[in-house]
Structure 1
Amino acid sequence: MGKIGIYGSSFDPVTNVHLWTASTVARRSNLDKVIFLPCSSKRKDKHLHTTDEHRLAMLTMALEDNSKFELDDYEMKQESWNIYTYHTMEHFRAQFPEDEVYFIMGADLLQDIALGRWKFAEELISNNKFIIMARNGIDMLKTISGSALLRNHDDGTRFHLIDKGLAMEISSTYIRDEFSLGGEPRYLLPDKCYTYIKEHGIYQQ
């Protein structure tokens, strides 16, 4: 039996922090594989700044040197009405029936679930395991204990809490802003992705 982490994000663009986070999670949680799952541009709650093709191209380049990292465009292929994390995790659990499959997310998303902002939250929490990454200003234990949904499913294995130990919060938004304003974010993302963005004029005014 293996251990697989599903790491969803916009990756618009993928950054070195995304890669460092995935590597840290894989090591501390003993994961055999991390699947990078770019979100769909069809989602109503997302405003993306470049095409799916560009995001996939950059992710492919960013992940090619790490045998533990894989790219999956499952959510990009779904119709907008069917793009919920619960359905996504059902798909991956069916794809890897002999493995433990974890959903990797930040503590901010855990907080959103606790506040009732996610569809199919009961089904999602009751049927899956989670790796939760610390976010500045969010008390993960308090978030779990303060939510009936979360605490009632906290059996000691449901939530694996990770305090990364180093604040690395450089975001894709920051990098996009740097490109658009003529800044120099070269060392905040993989070299090949930086070159790709410059060559294709992505994020630049």
Structure 2
Amino acid sequence: MVNPKCVEKETPPVEAKPKMEQEKSRGRQIGIMGGTFNPVHIAHLVAAEQAMTKLRLDEVWFIPDNIPPHKNAPLTSAKDRATMLDLATRDNPKFRVKLLELFRGGVSYTVDTMRYLKEKAPQNNYYLIMGSDQVNSFHTWKEAPTLAKMVTLVGIRRPGYPQDPQYPMIWVDAPDIRLSSTAIRRSVATGTSIRYLVPEAVRKYIIEKGLYLDETNI
């Protein structure tokens, strides 16, 4: 029987080291999707998948807001929103849930998050994936000119929806799924089925926890 203590860790061949260092310095291509995800639904996931495959991204990171700067509707708890995101993305090995803004607390500004990520991993390239409504309001975001220089802006094109980007944008075509978290919450509150509008694990979680039953919080 081999004594594990006597087994040395396998080291890569000498010729492999330069390649490994080169890949590390090149960094990764990371898509960023922010939002309240209250709750996450299939349109979020489809947009992320389309952007990831068409732009050949290594991963897409879902970063839920703590307090969104542009929305006033009451939020489901951070724990519930994070759990639903985990349930929705766990079957895709290239999707990651990052709780940076929840841990930081306060109002969630994307520029602050990107400053943190660029400081931690300056070798990575980040692609900020936005829906049509976000594209048109991006110029109102905190330090929008600075943020536009830190990331590559990616817009999910919606047929028939007027687009007025004020910054350079890469456009990605995706299936036209006209769905919103507000519509999901309203459906739950009125007893309408949300099956197939959210991942099945998310639907079951909403039922189990009794989320979105109060119509006054829609």
Instruction: Please say if residues 7 and 34 of structure 1, whose CA atoms lie closer than 8 Å, have aligned partners that are also in contact.
Output: yes
Read off the aligned partner of 2:189 and give its amino acid letter.
S
**Taking structure 1 as reference, are residues 162 and 180 closer, same or farther at Cα in structure 2, changes over 3 Å only?**
same
Q: Classify the secondary structure of the residue corresponding to 2:196.
A: helix
The residue aligned with 2:187 is 178
**Taking structure 1 as reference, are residues 15 and 55 closer, same or farther at Cα in structure 2, changes over 3 Å only?**
same
Instruction: Please say if residues 10 and 48 of structure 1, whose CA atoms lie closer than 8 Å, have aligned partners that are also in contact.
Output: no
1:10-45, CA deviations, whole angstroms, 9 ceiling, x for partnerless residues? 111111121111111100111110000111137573
Distance 2:145 2:67 in 1: 25
TM-score with structure 2 setting the length: 0.79
Matched, 1:53 2:79: yes
TM-score with structure 1 setting the length: 0.83
Matched, 1:97 2:106: no
Read off the aligned partner of 2:122 and give its amino acid letter.
P
How much identity, in percent, do the aligned residues show?
30
Counterpart among 190, 193, 203 of residue 199 in structure 2: 190
1:60-92, CA deviations, whole angstroms, 9 ceiling, x for partnerless residues? 1111111000001111122425x3211111112
Distance 2:41 2:105 in 1: 27
Matched, 1:4 2:30: yes
The residue aligned with 1:37 is 63
Counterpart among 79, 87, 100 of residue 74 in structure 1: 100
Query: Which runs of 5 or more structure 1 residues have no equivalent in the other structure?
Result: none
Aligned length: 188
Read off the aligned partner of 1:45 and give its amino acid letter.
K
Q: Classify the secondary structure of the residue corresponding to 1:97.
A: coil
Read off the aligned partner of 2:152 and give its amino acid letter.
K
Q: Classify the secondary structure of the residue corresponding to 2:38.
A: coil
Query: Which runs of 5 or more structure 2 residues have no equivalent in the other structure?
Result: 1-26
Q: Classify the secondary structure of the residue corresponding to 1:88.
A: helix
Matched, 1:135 2:144: no
Which one has a bigger Cα radius of gyration? 2
Q: CA RMSD in A?
A: 1.9
The residue aligned with 2:147 is 124
Shift, 1:204, TM fit? 1.5
Instruction: Please say if residues 12 and 48 of structure 1, whose CA atoms lie closer than 8 Å, have aligned partners that are also in contact.
Output: no
Distance 1:70 1:201 in 2: 26
Q: Classify the secondary structure of the residue corresponding to 1:187.
A: coil
